[in-house]
């Protein structure tokens, strides 16, 4: 939750979105690039790193842990890592801001180094559950002293005699999987994480590129990811793909605003991330992909989206991990499709930056959309393009994806939609408003004169 001055924004009904745009780097990959770079010995060079508040928090954290991070004049970053097990005890508290990925991955990274680190975050992060990482990391021998036992601020006392782990994930979470893998890098022997449902595998792909010993095997219990301990990571040069979770807003807006045709370039198309695109296609979206040869270790494509008449669908529950951050924008698209869209099996949305089920239900209802809420999801009853009234002030609960979703709704509603705060957008996609305006979207600041 924001501890800064709020800036309401409003999005006006727009005629068309048109253009060809490049967007910033993938947030998940950027966090991992900074953390793994800080655990390698020597200089890791990163092009296209996302410079959003979340990633800047991770950069600040690895600096406090002893890595050197330089921003070069061409905008690339150089990270001089300290090696696995080489982190220094930080002289100050590590503030991860709004970022669950930053804190959960960093806690894993320090868990098997004998230092004490204190983590905190903003009001949203301080309310999010940490037991999902505490429980498996305790197995290594790490000590945790959190507020109310499992909340930030939390002191993590890394162990100097780590015990390697075999752990089956009880929730489909790439953050938890990655925390355990990162802890395993500085433990003896091998650490194995088993996941039943595939979650984003950027950590695994990147570790291979850094030269770690990692083995991935299909077993009866699920996918077993085994990492060799006492890893020596070799620094590398990499280019971060553009973020499919940010592209999701532009693509979705183009589908629901009449007469639109846009291209978003070099989007990461890792199959563990592209569930939204698949769902939109099932709804009848006109999407085309131009695949781009590259050596980032991740598939890339230019994504072309044109206005489409969409119909409601039932999203398969097993698709949830591959589009977990995209349910808010899908709920907006669903409101402008014909028929009902059912999104179930997504209880995890209740513990994101805010309770995203509640935030979408409240926001859509205030814009005149019929919605049913369940403990594990929502159903949106869409009436097609042009059917949403808008004319509402939506509470974002300082959640960047709620803010961007409702601004996209405003572009295709009858009347403007106002979001109570746009500053949260800086956590993941600082150029969002500028890029949308260049494509023809009408988005502006909002002055509440009734106060
Ligand atoms: C992320 C994993 C997901 C996602 C988050 C980023 C990551 O969280 O919601 O935005 O980079 O590992 P969970 O692992 O909690 O599902």
Q: Residue 242: name the closest of 50, 44, 52 by CA.
A: 50
348 occurs within a structural domain? yes
Is 200's C-beta closer than 6 angstroms to any atom of ligand 1?
A: yes
- Asked whether residue 73 falls in the same domain as residue 18, the answer is no
- Asked whether residue 115 falls in the same domain as residue 85, the answer is yes
- Asked whether residue 293 falls in the same domain as residue 407, the answer is yes
Give the structural domain span for 389: 9-24+241-445
**DSSP code of residue 358:** H
pLDDT of residue 296: 86
230 occurs within a structural domain? no
Of 174, 177, 206, 351, best ligand 1 pocket probe by most atoms within 8 Å of the beta carbon: 174
Give the pLDDT confidence of 121-173 residue by residue, as tens digits. 999 999 999 999 999 999 999 999 999 999 999 999 999 999 999 999 999 99
- Asked whether residue 174 falls in the same domain as residue 277, the answer is no
For 152, list phi and psi in degrees, rounded to 5: -75, 155
pLDDT of residue 2: 47
Task: Give nearest CA residue, ligand 1 atom 4.
Answer: 325
Closest atom of ligand 1 relative to the 174 alpha carbon:
14
Is 298's C-beta closer than 6 angstroms to any atom of ligand 1?
A: no
- Asked whether residue 67 falls in the same domain as residue 116, the answer is yes
Is 174's C-beta closer than 6 angstroms to any atom of ligand 1?
A: yes
- Asked whether residue 48 falls in the same domain as residue 16, the answer is no
pLDDT of residue 5: 80
The string of DSSP letters for 9-24 reads: EEEE--S--EEEEE-P
| CATH number reported for the structural domain that contains residue 130 in this entry | 3.65.10.10
- Asked whether residue 328 falls in the same domain as residue 406, the answer is yes
- How many angstroms separate the CA atoms of 105 and 58, rounded? 9
Does the pTM surpass 0.95? The reply is yes
- Asked whether residue 177 falls in the same domain as residue 301, the answer is no
Of 55, 169, 173, best ligand 1 pocket probe by most atoms within 8 Å of the beta carbon: 173
Annotated catalytic residue within 26, 122, 243, 325: 325
What residue ranges of the chain have pLDDT lower than 50?
2
Ligand 1 center to 297 CA (angstroms): 19
- Asked whether residue 145 falls in the same domain as residue 71, the answer is yes
Residue 194's DSSP bridge partners are 168, 224
pLDDT of residue 447: 83
The string of DSSP letters for 300-336 reads: EEEEEEE----B--EEPGGGGGGGGGGHHHHHHHHHT
């Amino acid at each position: 939750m924001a501890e800064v001055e709020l800036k309401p924004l409003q999005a006006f009904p727009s005629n068309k979105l048109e253009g060809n745009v490049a967007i910033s780097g993938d947030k998940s990959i950027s966090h991992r690039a900074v953390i793994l770079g800080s655990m390698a010995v020597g200089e890791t060079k990163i092009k296209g790193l996302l410079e959003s508040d979340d990633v800047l928090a991770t950069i600040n954290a690895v600096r406090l842990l002893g890595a050197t991070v330089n921003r070069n004049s061409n905008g690339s970053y150089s990270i001089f890592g300290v090696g696995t097990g080489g982190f220094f005890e930080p002289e100050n508290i590590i503030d991860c801001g709004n970022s669950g990925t930053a804190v959960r991955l960093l806690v894993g990274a320090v868990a098997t180094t004998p230092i004490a680190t204190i983590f905190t975050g903003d009001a949203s992060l301080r309310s999010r559950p940490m037991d999902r990482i505490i429980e498996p990391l305790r197995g290594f021998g790490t000590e945790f002293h959190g507020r109310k036992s499992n909340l930030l601020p939390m002191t993590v006392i890394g162990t100097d005699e780590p015990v390697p782990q075999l752990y089956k994930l009880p929730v489909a979470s790439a953050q938890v999987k990655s925390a355990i893998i990162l802890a395993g890098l500085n433990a003896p022997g091998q650490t194995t994480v088993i996941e039943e449902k595939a979650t984003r595998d950027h950590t695994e792909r990147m570790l291979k590129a850094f030269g770690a010993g990692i083995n991935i095997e299909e077993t009866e219990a699920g996918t077993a990811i085994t990492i060799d301990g006492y890893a020596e990571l070799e620094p590398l040069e990499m280019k971060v793909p553009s973020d499919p979770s940010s592209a999701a807003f532009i693509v979705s807006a183009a589908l629901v605003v009449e007469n639109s045709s846009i291209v978003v370039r070099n989007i990461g198309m890792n199959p563990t991330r592209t569930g939204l695109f698949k769902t939109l296609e099932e709804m009848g979206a006109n999407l085309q992909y131009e695949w781009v040869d590259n050596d980032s270790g991740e598939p890339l494509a230019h994504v072309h989206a044109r206005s489409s008449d969409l119909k409601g669908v039932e999203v398969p529950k097993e698709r949830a991990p591959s589009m977990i951050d995209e349910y808010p924008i899908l709920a907006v698209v669903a409101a402008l499709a014909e028929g009902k869209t059912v999104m179930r099996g997504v209880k995890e949305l209740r513990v994101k930056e805010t309770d995203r089920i509640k935030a979408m239900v409240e926001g859509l209802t205030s814009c005149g959309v019929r919605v049913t809420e369940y403990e594990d999801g929502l159903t949106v009853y869409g009436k097609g393009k042009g059917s949403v009234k808008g004319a509402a002030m939506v509470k974002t609960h300082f959640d960047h994806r709620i803010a961007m979703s409702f601004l996209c709704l405003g572009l295709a509603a009858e009347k403007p939609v106002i979001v109570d705060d746009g500053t949260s957008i800086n956590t993941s996609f600082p150029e969002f408003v500028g890029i949308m305006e260049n494509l023809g979207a009408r988005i502006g600041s909002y002055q509440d004169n009734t106060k």
